A and B are shown apart, each in its own frame.
Chain A
Amino acid sequence: MTALACSLAASSAWALPRMSLTIGSRCSNCHVNPQGSGLRTDSGFYSTAQNGAITWEQVGWQKFHDMPDNQLADGRLTVGFDSRLQMARLGAPHWSDDGELVTPDRLVIPMQMAPALSVKITDWLSATGSYNVSTLQHSYLGQSPYDAWLQIKTSQEMPSLRVGMIQPTIGMRHDDHTMLLRRNPLNPGLPMIAPNWNELGAEVTYEGQHWISAEAGVFMANNLALSDSGAVKKGDLITSARLTLWPQLEDYGLNSWIGGSFLKAGDLTLVGSHIGLGKPYWGALQAEMVMTQTAANRDMLSWMIHASHPLKEWFVLEARYEKSTGSTSVANSNAEMTSLVAGVQFIPLPNVELRPEYRVLTTKDWKLAQWALQLHLWF
């Protein structure tokens, strides 16, 4: 199963929930962070090291091709790096002061340049952190430039504890920060939950049984008070929890998950659910929903459905549809956004990902159809 997981995970270049769903494997199998994203474990590194349309060996870089893992000092140190450049039109079409229709310029934005390190201090204690240098140039309100935590993990069967600057676990952690699940249709330009959101706090993770996983955490609001200042104030207590069941229909080779999330912070209450179905070499179908409500009667409902199919391990077709609606009685306004994204995850060389996408985003006031391209390099 591990071999199968690794061979299939090879088509993933990031903490893509679809990969976990396809192979029925936890994010923590391939990432140091149990939520997924960022620094890879030795299994995660190995699973992507040979996957590409062409290999490093074929272009003459044998040393990189033969690199066995991303660990140093007899496995005490795990090192990694993620870099992402996004080329897209950001913003909304609008009338200029001269009455001309203005289409947003296409920009190239460094989204992520994040070296990461994990140190195994003892058999049960580790320290992990990363710093996203690109936030020095561009960041969203509430985006955390770094994450850092101590993890106590005595065995796979027992719950583990993380303490530090970490992201409360809710729903699935997607690598695409433009997804409507974490945006506010009433303020289309402002994420309700910023990309790389982290808060100071502690979280317990349980993955001791193959059919269930659970997380629960307590945090102090700081960054969430920046991205959703209307509902959360600095210093508010954040409580979060997620429960996921992982049914496997072995007769059909199907993996699945179904679960729910809860978060309470200040005046904000968030309830979410996620469900998905995946099969090796076939792909994945997943859906997720997030409902939020504030004491000031701001209600939002966002949902998405996402399908993916690997033509090759290094060439995966992807499409998703999202819808987000919101209303607030205070300003007596309501809003709606829909998003259609179709694209390809293409890995020309191991550790190099190109993701061309066609995106159509529609609000009550405007519509923008564009192609976008993301370059992702990782180690």
Chain B
Amino acid sequence: MAKAADQHDLGVPSGDARADVGSDRREFLCKIGALASAGALAPLVVGCESAEVFGPEPVAGVKLDFDITKEPFKPLADVGGKAKTIVGGTPIVMVRTTATQVLAFKDECPHKQCPLSATGSWDTGKKQLSCGCHGAVFDATGKAVSWPKDGTTQTNLKAFKVTFASPTGTVQA
């Protein structure tokens, strides 16, 4: 043992120590190799990615008549009320903004696709629709006026044409 200690002091590993160092080195290299192999598998995992939307692709130009005395449009009887519907496969949120106006937007916040029919709230004073998920805000035309600072691209909210003469109207997708 004393000899081994002396050899260590001189910077010369003993026989046992040399074996340890070699073992450590082999183990270290094996681990590095394993990590490199795992990294090489990453592209295979990426290939497993997929995205799917259930339901048909939306069709443009479709019109829908609505009546705020009937479901599901009854919430529009009150200013600030919201209703959701589907027109031509497009989910739409409708908002009663004034006594004479109903606005319609795509029922997906362009930030993270939160359903505005559930998370959105209309500010009658500012005339803005804000998404409750992450705070994106849109004006009456759908233009984004405030956007979460998370690196995503600021995108406007799709608005749809509405004609309204209480209690009935038409929305066109």
**Contact yes or no, A107 B152, CB < 8 A:** yes
What residues of A have a CB within 8 angstroms of the CB of B135 in the complex?
Answer: 141
* Chain B CB within 8 A of A62 CB: no
With A54-B28, A58-B28, A348-B35 known as contacts, the answer to whether A92 contacts B112 (CB < 8 A) is yes
Q: Is B58 an interface residue (CB 8 A)?
A: yes
Q: Which residues of A contact B134 (CB under 8 A)?
A: 140-141, 189
- CA distance in complex: A298, B89 (Å): 27
Whether the Cβ atoms of A93 and B52 lie closer than 8 Å is yes
The reply on A101 being an interface residue by CB < 8 A is yes
| Contact B54–A371 (Cβ < 8 Å) | no
Interface membership of A76, Cβ < 8 A: no
Q: Which residue of B lies closest to A312 (CB)?
A: B31
**Bound CA–CA A92/B132 (angstroms):** 16
Please tell me if A156 contacts chain B, counting CB pairs below 8 Å: no
How far, in Å, is A365 (CB) from chain B's closest CB? 6
B46 at the interface (CB under 8 A from A): yes
Q: Are A94 and B113 in contact (CB under 8 A)?
A: yes
| B50 close to A (CB within 8 Å) | yes
Residues from 123 to 151 in A contacting B, C-beta threshold 8 Å: 137-138, 140-141
Within B128-144, the residues touching A (CB, 8 Å) are 132-135
Query: Does B151 lie within 8 Å of A107, measured CB to CB?
Result: yes
9-residue interface stretch from B8-16, B62-70, B103-111, B163-171:
B103-111
Chain B interfacial residues counted at CB < 8 A: 46
Please tell me the number of chain A residues within 8 Å of chain B, measured between CB atoms.
43
State A289–B113 Cα separation when bound (angstroms): 27
Complex contact A190–B57 (CB within 8 A): no
Per the bound structure, the CA–CA distance linking A370 and B50 in Å amounts to 7
B48 is an interface residue with CB less than 8 A from chain A:
yes
Q: Which residues of chain A have C-beta atoms less than 8 A from B46's C-beta?
A: 371
Chain B positions 110 through 133: 1 when the CB is less than 8 Å from some CB of chain A, otherwise 0: 011111011100000000000011
Residues of B within 8 A of A (CB): 24, 28, 31-32, 34-35, 38, 42, 45-46, 48-55, 57-58, 60, 72, 84, 89-90, 106, 108-109, 111-115, 117-119, 132-135, 148-152, 158
14 additional A-B pairs beyond A95-B90, A190-B133, A356-B42, beta carbons within 8 Å, are A89-B49, A93-B53, A104-B112, A138-B149, A138-B150, A141-B133, A188-B115, A190-B114, A331-B117, A364-B54, A366-B52, A369-B50, A371-B42, A371-B45
9 closest Cβ pairs, A-B complex: A189-B114, A93-B51, A92-B113, A103-B51, A91-B112, A189-B133, A138-B150, A367-B52, A190-B133
